[in-house]
Chain A
Amino acid sequence: MLKLLPSFRIRLSKRCYAAVLAERNKNFAKVMESDVLAFENFLGKEGVLKDDITLNTTDWTGQFKGPGSVVLFPKNTEQVSAILAYCSKNKLAVVPQGGNTGLVGASIPVHDEVVLSLSKINNSFSFDDTMGILKCDAGFILEDLDNKLASLGYMVPFDLGAKGSCQIGGNIATCAGGIRLIRYGSLHAHLLGLTVVLPDEHGTVLHLGSDIRKDNTSLHTPHLFLGSEGQLGVITSVTMTAVPRPKSVQSAMLAVTSFEKCCEVLKLAKSSLSEVLSSFEFLDEATMKCLKTNLDLHSVLGTPSAFCVLVETSGSNEDHDMAKMGAFLDECLSKELILDGVLAGSSADATKMWQLRESAPLAVSRDGYVYKHDVSLPLKNYYELTNVMRERCGDLAKSVVTYGHVGDGNTHLNITSEKHSEALENLLYPFLYEWVVAHGGSISAEHGIGQLKLPYSELGKQPEERLLVKKLKNIFDPNGILNPYKMI
């Protein structure tokens, strides 16, 4: 499992192209001295941060920054309840914040909202190693949780580059995807229960779902919080399943000449590797070029090819998995689905392969200005998007690269230019998003809507669906104080 984001922050000073800076809602009150005193009363002086709050008011990409007001650090659910009840009564807007690693500007204030950080709610941890059920506070950093589970022979069922900083509560609120979704499914498959605090005038504490594997006694309300982006309530505790840690992990990188062949390799992987397939990622030639030029990272494959596929298996028996991987690779070669390939002979080899995939976002950012996309498309249109955009942008774009979770139909199309270009931006939007929706795709597969995609969130949606979502929002957040100006 690799860490990608340790200390690097992309330094872009301009607000992102697609975000519309929403006007401050005049119905919200401003934070006064009396409010600060009240917060200090609930949390103690050490729980309230008034100065040097830039880290909590700027997002990871550096594109979104709000002035903010104060940052609060509750230590338990009761304190969160007191804060939300107070803010609801006094019409103060609140932004719940986990690791602040989101990519759509949803975790930081737009104006002077109060930041409610979950970072200090990270004490309670319990794990049933027969059923594989984990119950823990929402503020645990993902990597720390995974390390705790590792010593018990288990692992968190998802993995993403931000694992060194992101928190489990945030992962639930964003329904984090990652590189192993093809094997373990999304968080919908793992979530069992939540403790949430509602932003109503009582700061209602709700225990949703349960702590056991199967429970059909009510509407499955905890699942409403998956991908809720901090709009419905603040998550303070999570109960979910973990999965056995694999004892054997095999990785291989394959050179493929066409996207159609990539799809055939995927099909073969699913039938041949079957239950041990744990990852199926890809990088196109433009991405490999970017990696070489910007980060001096060379391909593991000797033969350059239009596409590079990274396949991984995870299982409990090395012999069994190696035999399956060997047979799969033999078949790929004999059926001429691949041009060349490398099977990792050691963890050093595997690390090299994953480094290529996980450094792609970084390599791309070094071009200058990046227009990042996270779309889902049916496979027949998956790479067509790249070709269409490449042609449309022509010389205005420096690189048009695509990499991503092709096994899930999720592409990270990145278009770069040396500097921010309005001409390029106008070519991209709303064309790109409209094209995706018209071809049966989603404009945000994993990263969410936040501020970034709010202008396009209606695309392809029924007005009745939008109305339903607004009604649900009102039920949970009657005074509309939680994470305003975003998503809904």
Chain B
Amino acid sequence: MRILVGVKRVVDYAVKIRVKPDRSGVVTEGVQHSMNPFDEIALEEAVKLKEKKLATEVVAFSLGGPKSAEVLRTALAKGADKAIHVQVSDAEAGKVESFHVAKALKKVVELEKFDAVFLGKQAIDDDSSQTAPILAGLLDWPQALYASKVEDAGNGHVKVTREIDGGLDTIKVKTPFVLSADLRLNEPRYATLPNIMKAKKKPLKNIPIKDLAVDLTPQTETIEVTEPPVRQAGGFVEDVATLVSKLKEKGFVKA
């Protein structure tokens, strides 16, 4: 089984997000970035499958500006064999949507013949959670989303346990399939220095977006980005009687 793993370079989760003064988006310049945490988990699962000899090759993929190459190098250091960087300009990267990423992934899958695509369940910058299901739809492949456990089911099938609101849902999918990784699937390994050194020698292929003939026309337009409203200070009351009268006064309780 050859697995393609999508990884995205996102603003690091610990950064205090600031909205740009022109309200067109959030500040990403000069701010710490790292690999999307769910993508790290997806990558770890693919590498573990390779270590168990259930997969033969893991290829990392990223669609993004020039700096996405850093995240791909990290993926190589964490066990991917090769990497593919579909490059767009930084300006274009700001407008790329899940739909475009799914289309690009589809093209790469068709070119290089993968048996599975592993993605993080959502990116922590836009929280769209769309790329995996859109891709499955475009490829007409089964999808195993929010995976919390992956097991071999023999006969070209994989058993996936998924975390859903009601509990755990276990499904069996036939390869080729799309998987999205959820938080408790595994604990990603660290990129050790010797592996970082070895990763420098692993192949990283650059594909300009136009070579894939993917139309990047946005389907949505961002009208405005604002901070959530500042939480209003509460008030203190001295006793229960005052509390009740205040509640009545404000219309929360029938007078």
A342 touches B191 (CB 8 A): yes
Residues of chain A contacted by B14 (CB below 8 angstroms): 347-348, 351
11 contacts between A and B (CB under 8 A): A248-B32, A318-B30, A333-B194, A338-B193, A343-B191, A343-B193, A345-B35, A347-B14, A347-B32, A347-B34, A348-B37
Is the C-beta of A408 less than 8 angstroms from some C-beta in chain B? no
Is the C-beta of B108 less than 8 angstroms from some C-beta in chain A? no
A347 touches B13 (CB 8 A): yes
Cα–Cα, bound, A180→B190 (Å) = 25
B13 touches A342 (CB 8 A): no
Known: A247-B30, A318-B30, A333-B197. A347 touches B192 (CB 8 A): no
Is the C-beta of B161 less than 8 angstroms from some C-beta in chain A? no
Cα–Cα, bound, A301→B193 (Å) = 10
Cα–Cα, bound, A252→B193 (Å) = 9
Cα–Cα, bound, A73→B173 (Å) = 68
Interface centre among B32, B34, B192, B193 (most CB of A within 10 A): B193
CB-nearest residue of chain B to A250: B32
**Interface mask (A332-353 → B, CB under 8 Å = 1, otherwise 0):** 1100001011110111110100
A342 touches B30 (CB 8 A): no
Cα–Cα, bound, A378→B190 (Å) = 34
Is the C-beta of A6 less than 8 angstroms from some C-beta in chain B? no
Shortest CB–CB separation between residue A335 and chain B, in angstroms?
A: 13
Q: A342 touches which one: B12, B31, B37, B193 (CB < 8 A)?
A: B193
Residues of chain B contacted by A48 (CB below 8 angstroms): none
Cα–Cα, bound, A329→B74 (Å) = 15
CB-nearest residue of chain A to B29: A247
**Interface mask (A295-313 → B, CB under 8 Å = 1, otherwise 0):** 0000011100000000000
Is the C-beta of B196 less than 8 angstroms from some C-beta in chain A? yes
Residues of chain A contacted by B40 (CB below 8 angstroms): 346
Docked complex: B1-45 residues within 8 A CB-CB of A: 12-15, 30-32, 34-35, 37, 40
**Interface mask (A313-341 → B, CB under 8 Å = 1, otherwise 0):** 00000100000000001101100001011
**Interface mask (B48-84 → A, CB under 8 Å = 1, otherwise 0):** 0000000000000000000000000010000000000
Shortest CB–CB separation between residue B90 and chain A, in angstroms?
A: 14
| Interface size bracket, B side | 10 to 19
**Interface mask (B181-197 → A, CB under 8 Å = 1, otherwise 0):** 00000000011111011
B13 touches A329 (CB 8 A): no
Cα–Cα, bound, A346→B35 (Å) = 7
Shortest CB–CB separation between residue A199 and chain B, in angstroms?
A: 38
Residues of chain A contacted by B193 (CB below 8 angstroms): 252, 254, 329, 332-333, 338, 340-343
Residues of chain A contacted by B192 (CB below 8 angstroms): 301-302, 340-342
Interface centre among B15, B40, B196, B197 (most CB of A within 10 A): B196
Which 4 pairs, one residue from A and one from B, show the smallest C-beta to C-beta distance?
A346-B34, A347-B14, A341-B193, A342-B190
Q: B190 touches which one: A249, A254, A349 (CB < 8 A)?
A: A349
Residues of chain A contacted by B32 (CB below 8 angstroms): 247-249, 318, 347
Residues of chain B contacted by A342 (CB below 8 angstroms): 190-193
Cα–Cα, bound, A332→B194 (Å) = 11
Docked complex: B179-236 residues within 8 A CB-CB of A: 190-194, 196-197
Cα–Cα, bound, A301→B74 (Å) = 16
A346 touches B13 (CB 8 A): yes
Residues of chain B contacted by A248 (CB below 8 angstroms): 32
Shortest CB–CB separation between residue B83 and chain A, in angstroms?
A: 15
Residues of chain A contacted by B194 (CB below 8 angstroms): 333, 340
Cα–Cα, bound, A312→B195 (Å) = 20
B190 touches A300 (CB 8 A): yes
Cα–Cα, bound, A340→B190 (Å) = 12
B191 touches A348 (CB 8 A): no
Cα–Cα, bound, A415→B62 (Å) = 50
Residues of chain A contacted by B15 (CB below 8 angstroms): 347
CB-nearest residue of chain B to A298: B187
Cα–Cα, bound, A165→B30 (Å) = 31
Residues of chain B contacted by A347 (CB below 8 angstroms): 12-15, 32, 34
Residues of chain A contacted by B35 (CB below 8 angstroms): 345-346
Residues of chain B contacted by A341 (CB below 8 angstroms): 192-193
Shortest CB–CB separation between residue A307 and chain B, in angstroms?
A: 16
Cα–Cα, bound, A441→B208 (Å) = 61
Cα–Cα, bound, A120→B194 (Å) = 53
Q: B196 touches which one: A300, A318, A338, A343 (CB < 8 A)?
A: A343
Residues of chain A contacted by B197 (CB below 8 angstroms): 330, 333
Beyond A330-B197, A345-B191, 20 additional contacts (C-beta under 8 Å) are A247-B31, A249-B32, A301-B192, A302-B192, A318-B30, A329-B193, A332-B193, A341-B192, A342-B191, A345-B35, A345-B74, A345-B190, A346-B13, A346-B40, A347-B12, A347-B14, A348-B14, A348-B37, A349-B190, A351-B14
Cα–Cα, bound, A342→B195 (Å) = 9
Residues of chain B contacted by A349 (CB below 8 angstroms): 190
Shortest CB–CB separation between residue A29 and chain B, in angstroms?
A: 40
A345 touches B30 (CB 8 A): no
Residues of chain B contacted by A340 (CB below 8 angstroms): 192-194
CB-nearest residue of chain B to A248: B32
Residues of chain B contacted by A346 (CB below 8 angstroms): 12-13, 34-35, 37, 40
Residues of chain B contacted by A254 (CB below 8 angstroms): 193
B13 touches A348 (CB 8 A): yes
Cα–Cα, bound, A351→B15 (Å) = 13
Shortest CB–CB separation between residue B16 and chain A, in angstroms?
A: 8
CB-nearest residue of chain B to A249: B32
Shortest CB–CB separation between residue A92 and chain B, in angstroms?
A: 36
Residues of chain B contacted by A351 (CB below 8 angstroms): 14
Residues of chain A contacted by B190 (CB below 8 angstroms): 300-302, 342, 345, 349
CB-nearest residue of chain B to A353: B190
Shortest CB–CB separation between residue B194 and chain A, in angstroms?
A: 7
Shortest CB–CB separation between residue B236 and chain A, in angstroms?
A: 16
Shortest CB–CB separation between residue A472 and chain B, in angstroms?
A: 45
CB-nearest residue of chain B to A253: B190
